Amino acid sequence: MTSILILNGPNLNLLGQRQPDVYGTTTIADIETTCQDKAKALGVEIRFEQSNSEGTLVDLIHSAKGRHDGIILNAGAYTHTSIALMDAISSVELPVIELHLSNIHAREAFRHVSYISKVAVGQICGFGPAGYPLALDAMHQLLDT
């Protein structure tokens, strides 16, 4: 069965509380439930993880090789700073979809730079929590072809 790793980076554990004007009121637990429902409908397995630690995210990406078929990554602020995450993605040779709740291109200039996009197959941003099922659909289609 197809397996997809969904990784969430720093501060996403605070969804629903942190800057609801930017990120909405949906919690990370709500998003995980939505993803589990979507995965079931698609007939795929998912593993859903969140960490505030860059090193833990790198370790999770490394452990995905041979275990998962693709990765959906909302790296949060590490998107704009982490060469380590970029290198980890390159090293596992799995398709990665970059995901963001907000439209990073319509925000502060420093958010316009993404190290993840340099090694991702695509990017979904600006659709809030609805971006997660969109990313699952996209990854499922990518892996199915």
Return the active site residues.
Answer: 23, 100
For residue 5, give the H/E element and its range.
strand 3-8
| Cα-to-chain-centroid distance, residue 138 | 12
Tokens of 89: 């993605």
Q: What is each CA distance from 35 to 31, 46, 139, in whole angstroms?
A: 6, 8, 13
**What DSSP line would sit under 30-52, residue for residue?**
HHHHHHHHHHHHHT-EEEEEE-S
Beta bridge partners of 97: 72, 122
**Distance between CA atoms of 51 and 123, rounded to whole angstroms?**
20
